Amino acid sequence: MSTLTDREIEIAEYIAWGASVDETADKLGRSPYTVKNTLRNIYAKLHFNKSTELAAYMFVKHPERMIIENDKIGNVKRAISAITMIALIFLQLLVQPADMMRVRRARTRTARRMEYVEE
């Protein structure tokens, strides 16, 4: 995996804490389009698809930036959510894939019935 630049780490830190793109752009004084573009580059570098993967990466690779005192958006609930998410990811890694069952719900379309009334 490629290493992230300081600017990318800064944006990834806000996203890992649960901030939206608009909140991140506001806090950093940048355009939301710049933040989206940088976030796209981060996902491409790290081969991630979701912000939860980025959050787990930030908490594991950059724990010094992810302490509660450094909570960039001022919301401890989001920190607790991120820690819970990491715990679930590690729990999922401990369970063998054969033991896991995926539940898929079948979608059914309801057919529209047209009734013709004879006059």
What per-residue confidence (pLDDT) applies to 105? 47
What per-residue confidence (pLDDT) applies to 88? 78
What per-residue confidence (pLDDT) applies to 73? 56
What per-residue confidence (pLDDT) applies to 63? 78
Query: Both tokens of residue 97?
Result: 């894939």
Closest-CA residue to 43 (of 26, 58, 31, 32)? 58
Residue 43: count of CB within 10 angstroms of its CB: 16
Cα separation of the two ends of the chain = 73
Is the CA virtual torsion 23, 54, 52, 60 positive or negative?
negative
Q: What is the mean pLDDT of each run of 10 residues along the chain (119 residues)?
A: 83 89 91 94 91 87 70 64 79 61 48 50
Instruction: Report the C-alpha gap between 34 and 40 in whole angstroms.
Output: 10
What amino acid occupies position 46? Answer: L
What amino acid occupies position 97? Answer: P
